[in-house]
Amino acid sequence: MPVADYQTYCKMLDTAREQHFAFPAINVSSVTTANAVLKGLAQAKSDGLIQVSTGGGEFASGLDVKNMALGAITLAQHVHLLADQYDVFVALHTDHCTKSKLDGFVRPLIEETRKRRSQGLPNLFNSHMFDGSDLPLEENMEIAVPLLKDCAELEIILEVEAGVVGGEEDGVNHEGVPSEKLYTTPEDMLYVYEKLSTVENGRFMLAATFGNVHGVYKPGNVKLRPAILNEGQDAVRKAYGEKAMMDLVFHGGSGSELKDIHETLEYGVVKMNVDTDTQYAYTRPIVEHMLKNFDAVLKVEGEVGNKKFYDPRSYNKKAEEAMANRVAQAAQDLKATGKTIFKG
């Protein structure tokens, strides 16, 4: 699964929009979780995205270093090395970077790609996300437009967000925001298009909100209004024609009904972030391993335990397998199974 180049990534997104499916975009924070995504996508014969957040990058750099950009570089380099062993494409993406963290995360990663390209190497990341959803939309776009110019120069796609995804994820907390901010208006989507479409050769994705909430919820507890996406796309198409239809991103999918997910695919969603569910899938077999083998993983009452059970490989293998299966399920839910454009 080679890491997609720019032309391949664009073809991935175009194909998804035309055929009404979306790619699972999975957050990772370690070599093992990255391996799980590669395995799961290959299992599903689906292309997809591997994402690194600011918190994931910081964790990957180690407790003493705590450098979010350096950790993201480490994970991305690992994926570049391992991806060639699989027969589907993967794109590398950074997730939820707010204004205050741009200089410590996205901008250094853009410069790393600039350096790599000067050496004849491929881009480090295929796309980056700027999350300006906590800003007035005008300020959001004032930052996004020059950022997209920098990205376009290096064949990087930029993801932006208009509206607020509720709940909390990876240190970005939008709990308790007014309910009206959870829904992007057609006027907002039109404004985003008008601002970003002025960037020559720029390509972008929009995370428009329609009641999405980050976190853990029982099915049915998240009340989505997917029609909002259609209303926004209609406003853009009416003003600028069919070719102006935007690539949309679905954030906060945990607890969403499958029918709502499928409806969004009809309105231009080409990417859905999956984090909470894959975190749980990874952790559950580890907990089960510890509970079933309590006396083996701990040196209880003077005993020595059993190395075969407390060797981290013994339970991380189970965790990788379980997370890979959840990634494959995500591909199935998004109608991406078997739709890789990789030809070998």
Does any domain span residue 340?
A: no
pLDDT in tens, 111-158: 999 999 999 999 999 999 999 999 999 999 999 999 999 999 999 999
Tally the residues of the chain: 344
- pLDDT value, residue 167: 44
- pLDDT value, residue 179: 55
Number of domains in the chain: 1
CA-closest candidate to residue 96, choices 150, 140, 142, 55? 55
Does any domain span residue 342?
A: no
| 95: annotated active-site residue | yes
Q: Identify whether the C-beta of residue 31 lies closer than 8 Å to the C-beta of residue 57.
A: no
- pLDDT value, residue 204: 98
- pLDDT value, residue 256: 80
Q: Show the CA angle centred on residue 211, arms to residues 209 and 216, nearest 5°.
A: 110
Any residues with CB less than 8 A from the CB of 318 and at least 6 apart, and which? 285, 286, 288, 289
Q: Identify whether the C-beta of residue 89 lies closer than 8 Å to the C-beta of residue 342.
A: yes
**How far from chain centre, in Å, is Cα 218?**
22
- pLDDT value, residue 221: 53
Does any domain span residue 341?
A: no
Percent of the chain with pLDDT over 90: 86
Does any domain span residue 149?
A: yes
- pLDDT value, residue 257: 86
Does any domain span residue 275?
A: yes
Buried b (16+ CB within 10 A) or exposed e, 248-258: bbbbbbbbbee
Q: Which residues of the chain have pLDDT under 70?
A: 1, 164-181, 214-222, 254-255
pLDDT in tens, 249-278: 999 776 688 999 999 999 999 999 999 999
Q: Catalytic residue, from 5, 64, 95, 131: name it.
A: 95
Asked whether the CA dihedral 197, 200, 205, 209 is positive or negative, the reply is negative
- pLDDT value, residue 228: 95
CA distance 21 to 7: 19
Cβ neighbours of 307 (radius 10 Å): 10
Does any domain span residue 237?
A: yes
CATH code at 273? 3.20.20.70
- pLDDT value, residue 114: 98
Does any domain span residue 35?
A: yes
Domain extent at residue 106: 6-333
Does any domain span residue 298?
A: yes
CA distance 198 to 5: 24
Q: Identify whether the C-beta of residue 81 lies closer than 8 Å to the C-beta of residue 39.
A: no
